[in-house]
């Protein structure tokens, strides 16, 4: 299942074991399957810092594109 979801099984298992749940879970296997479903897919060979930087860059590029679209609309309306 982890392979199909492209998540790191060892990492997610370690995080699951270290997580402090608020309440007792009656089916730990089902809980772990849901944990895997909610995990972020890994990007092979790419560090977390690079992923964050890439996400920030994409957000900034989207903001620039939005501003340019607004300016173009204002020019058309003027």
> Is residue 45 scored above 90 in pLDDT?
no
Residue 33, phi then psi, degrees to nearest 5: -60, -45
H helices of 1-78, where? 2-5, 9-18, 28-38, 48-77
* Rounded alpha-carbon distances, angstroms, from residue 9 to 18, 19, 63: 14, 15, 35
| pLDDT in the model for residue 60 | 92
CA distances from 57 to 36, 50, 54, 61, 67 (A): 27, 10, 5, 6, 15
pLDDT digits (tens, 9 = 90+) for 1-41: 888 888 888 989 999 988 888 888 788 899 999 999 999 88
């Amino acid at each position: 299942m982890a392979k199909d979801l492209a998540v790191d099984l060892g990492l997610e298992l370690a995080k699951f074991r270290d997580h402090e749940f608020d309440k007792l879970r009656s089916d730990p296997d089902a809980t772990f399957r849901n944990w895997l479903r909610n995990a972020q897919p890994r990007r092979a060979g790419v560090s977390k810092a690079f992923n964050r930087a890439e996400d920030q860059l994409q957000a900034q590029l989207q903001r620039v594109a939005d501003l340019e679209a607004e300016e173009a609309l204002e020019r058309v309306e003027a």
